[in-house]
Amino acid sequence: MKEYDIIVIGAGAGTKLVTPPSLLGKRVAVFEKESPGGTCLNRGCIPSKMIIYPSELIRITEDTDKFPVHFKERPIADVDKIFRRVNETVKQDSDSIPIAYDKNPNIDFYPKQVRFVDNRVLSDGNETYTAKHIFVVTGTRPSIPEIPGLKTIPFWTSREALSPDQFPKSLLIIGAGFISLELGAAYQAYGCKVTGLTRTEILRTADGDIKKELSNHLPFSIESHYQIDKVEYTNGEFKVIGKTKEGKETIHTAERLLVATGIRPNTDDLGLEKTNIKTNDVGYILVNDHLETTEPGIYAFGDVIGRYFFRHSANFEGEYLYDHLYVSKTNAPIKYPPMPEAVFTHPQIASIGFTEEDLIRKNIPYYKGINPYSSSATGMARMSNSGFVKVLVSVETEEVLGAHIIGEEAANLLHQIVLGMYLKAKLDDYLGMIYIHPAISEITRNAFRKVREEKLKRIKK
């Protein structure tokens, strides 16, 4: 049996526990059955944004007549070249990871599947491995719904949509979450006719005002509350057969079909049944406040524990474990700061904290301020006809409970509120600072002014 100080299963966010402890003299083994870099580098954040950004350049030209600025022709993207650049860049970055590990005498990289055969004992089928600390960082993969006919046809998941063999003229998307909205918007901008179908709401867990604004400015056609009865594939054409929310039977057709209905944890092939490691009903690994599983010495973090599904949250967890186990060596539990998120669709969406519906359900008193982009100097300059900043402030503490933005630069605009929430800033702090005029951040200031107005109205009553 090969013995190490650390074993990491998964070379995505798991890399946070590879090089840093190796520089402290720890002997580290890292196992990865697919391309190093994980979902974010190979099948998620990075390639999708490399595809989305050029599509935004096209979007900019779609609403310029109002200025007036005219283009003789609609911009045409060399889609093949865009996707080729994505694939080449991602491969280059992924390939560089094991090369760097090979140069480090304290790291052994194993490009293979590994499974538990006992508590704290792993096997690749030939050799066995153990370590003082084992980290399970295996992430998630697309969850495929039980739809009649689906399993026998060549549908896409996000993996194939990020690296298509040929760019389609038309695309059907089942699902209306992050992946659907991001890739669908990009494909539509590049000239593909995109149609979305979802059995629930669009962006189901978002704040209600965000969903309403998005529904008025969708980047492509999406039919919600749609019941899918079956799918077919004949002569190079996909068919989705189902019923509208009114009960009318319809058939949608396209060259390609993308299924983006959710994710499931990569825990079913780890041999966890041979250990004391427990999972919840859908397979996410249970961990305590120190990210330790129900088997001492084995930890898990990232998507596989089902808390948050962002690379930035997985990085935060990995950095906590590195400090907790090897640097400060304190016994402090992990304490998450406010967790932001964004959907890089068109219009862009960014959120943090509670939605208004959360606060109503939890019976938490709040002030609300909503300011449209148009109600600002920058909005006037841009002639904005959509988008807003919404802030929810505690009546009791006057700290921000949640913030939701839809519109240009939403992900960047959110960060001043992210910092404010982290520092427990109060309403007067946001109103007391000076904002550059006429920067887009004045939209946020105006939202806080709306909160102040609501507060004063209540006091007068």
Annotated binding-site residue numbers for FAD: 49, 303
Q: Which long-range contacts (CB under 8 A, 24 or more apart) does 371-375 make?
A: 371/443, 371/444, 371/446, 371/447, 371/449, 371/450, 372/443, 373/407, 373/408, 373/443, 375/443, 375/446
Which residue stretches of 14-105 are H helix? 19-22, 38-43, 45-60, 79-102
- In a 10 Å sphere around its CB, with 0-12 CB exposed, 13-18 middle and 19+ buried, how is residue 9 labelled? buried
CB atoms under 10 Å from CB of 154, counted, come to: 10
Whether 437 sits among the annotated catalytic residues: the reply is: yes
> Which residues make up each annotated binding site?
49, 175-182, 262, 303
User: What is the C-alpha to C-alpha distance for residues 127 and 2, in angstroms, rounded to an integer?
Assistant: 8
Q: Are strands 121-123 and 263-265 parallel, antiparallel or unpaired?
A: unpaired
Q: What length does the chain have?
A: 461
Active-site choice (70, 252, 415, 437): 437
Task: Determine contact, residues 63/119, Cβ cutoff 8 Å.
Answer: no
Q: Are strands 366-372 and 388-394 parallel, antiparallel or unpaired?
A: antiparallel
Q: What 8-state DSSP symbol labels residue 302?
A: G
Coil, strand or helix: which one is 372?
strand
Q: What is the CA radius of gyration of the chain?
A: 24
Task: Determine contact, residues 143/305, Cβ cutoff 8 Å.
Answer: no
Q: Which residues neighbour 361 within 8 Å (Cβ) at sequence distance 6 or greater? A: none
- Angle of CA points 121, 125, 131, to nearest 5°: 25
> Which residues make up each annotated binding site for NAD(+)?
175-182, 262
User: What is the C-alpha to C-alpha distance for residues 300 and 286, in angstroms, rounded to an integer?
Assistant: 8
Active site residues: 437
